[in-house]
Structure 1
Amino acid sequence: MTIQPALRAKEILPDDAPHVLVVDDDQRIRDLLSRYLHENGFRVTPAADAAAARAAMRGLSFDLVILDIMMPGESGLSLARDLKANINVPICMLTARSDTTDRIEGLEAGVEDYVAKPFEPRELLLRLQNILRRARGGPSVVKDEVRMGAYTFSMGRGELKRGEETIKLTERERDLMRMFAQKPGSPIPRHELAPDESTGSERAIDVQINRLRRKIETDPSNPVYLQTVRGKGYILYTD
């Protein structure tokens, strides 16, 4: 078991630059992320598996962990659960699966975000920056407009469009979309979505969510963007 040295740096980063642990059994991914993140101001330590990651964490401190969900030996999910129970370092999961089970299990384990492979490095960078802002108590970057496939929602105008077509929203649906758009990729509990804390109000949320899905999902019975997170509430995934 060895911890691979990061790629040779073109410049020395300051000691207060964010330190990221990249855990992935695919050397190509480790090298790509090490190079790209260093170019964008991150100090990077790569590890090929959970054992190497644990060894790295015994001697170094990290601001964030990028963790592949599928690795030989101990899985990324198992390592994530252990890290959250003992260190609570922010985690972004990488998954190659299209099935939602991995994402849900990761969120249930307490990870802050996930990115599906193959991923766009720029998107990953923005997600990491948002995770660090939240961890440090600063404001996350919230875009005025979020995209869900063919649909876009404008926070400022409260307007949902499919191409050039405006989709009519009720005032309540508009409020829900704004709440989800402010926290894309993060589960929101039912009680936060409900206008009051009564049980009946929380049940009404389920009905409202189903109606909203009919307006933003191609197949509302098998949602891609507005999903249920078991025991957590609902989550909006954006493009």
Structure 2
Amino acid sequence: MPTGRTRVLVVDDHQEIRGPLATYLGRYGLDVSTAADAEGVRALLAQQCFDLIVLDVMLPGEDGLSLCRYIYEHLKIPVILLSAMAEPADRIAGLELGADDYVTKPFDPRELVARIKTVLRRLEGAAPAAPAAGNGGYSFDAWILDTSRRELRHCDGRTVELSPVEYRLLHVLVEHPNTVLNRERLLDLTTRDEATVFDRSIDTQVSRLRKKLGDDARRPRLLRTAWGDGYLLAAEVRRLPI
């Protein structure tokens, strides 16, 4: 689990449940996002990594059980299901589809907090030890830049190949998040002594990085242009342990 605040996604189609629950969980130091349906969940999962998902079973369109199975098979994010269905068969069905816990409605939010902590502790204790070698990496948005393997990974498991120049450029940007770096500074930080690089090549490398990060070139969300000044990475960056 990444360092820093635990990221929880609360999914419920009822705002009167979703909103207050998110506020309540936030009081316990959790970084909470919300979604009302499966479409909203998939959109958020494409942009961010979460440590745990609290998922209502009865959703409009694609239901929570189907979404739980997808998350289990493809993303391996722990899921706590919420449901008004309290029969043992319903609970068993949810657990067999990959849920880590099952909470019936109505519930005491204090119980949900306790169950979230229990699931995260259990998974943390079961996690394999980190390799002794390597230099950790950086987590930002839905991505991890692994500095030991020099590779870029999405939280859905995809690995994106980076050229040596693209890797050095992204490495510099994650080390200086939310800071405008002008072209001259970027060239100083990314160009090796033996290489000859022209100023405009930075623009080309940024354009390529945007494509690999899925950033809209016309309205970039992550790699933003400060006109006349340079570029910045607009994201919260967390240093991962070695």
The alignment covers a number of residue pairs equal to 125
2:100 aligns to what? 112
1:48 aligns to what? 36
The answer to whether structure 1 residue 22 and structure 2 residue 10 are counterparts is yes
Provide the rounded CA distance (Å) in 2 between the counterparts of 1:18 and 1:93. Answer: 18
TM-score (norm 1): 0.51
Provide the rounded CA distance (Å) in 2 between the counterparts of 1:22 and 1:120. Answer: 15
1:57 aligns to what? 45
Unmatched segments (≥5 aa) in structure 1:
1-14, 139-239
The answer to whether structure 1 residue 135 and structure 2 residue 120 are counterparts is no
Provide the rounded CA distance (Å) in 2 between the counterparts of 1:42 and 1:96. Answer: 24
Residue 98 of structure 1 deviates from its aligned partner by 2.3
* Aligned AA (1:79): L
2:54 aligns to what? 66
TM-score (norm 2): 0.50
Which of 83, 86, 90 does residue 95 from structure 1 map onto? 83
The answer to whether structure 1 residue 36 and structure 2 residue 24 are counterparts is yes
Provide the rounded CA distance (Å) in 2 between the counterparts of 1:28 and 1:47. Answer: 13
* Aligned AA (1:49): D
Residue 132 of structure 1 deviates from its aligned partner by 0.6
The percent of aligned pairs where both chains have the same amino acid is 48
Provide the rounded CA distance (Å) in 1 between the counterparts of 2:92 and 2:61. Answer: 21
Q: Which runs of 4+ in 1 moved over 6 A?
A: none
Q: Higher relative contact order at CA 8 Å, sep ≥6: structure 1 or structure 2? A: 2
Provide the rounded CA distance (Å) in 1 between the counterparts of 2:37 and 2:80. Answer: 15
* Aligned AA (1:120): D
* Aligned AA (2:59): M
Compare CA radii of gyration and give the structure with the larger one.
2
Residue 101 of structure 1 deviates from its aligned partner by 2.4
Structural mapping, 1:168-179, within 5 Å? none
2:112 aligns to what? 124
Give the 3-state SS of the residue equivalent to 2:90 in structure 1. Answer: helix
Structural mapping, 1:153-164, within 5 Å? none
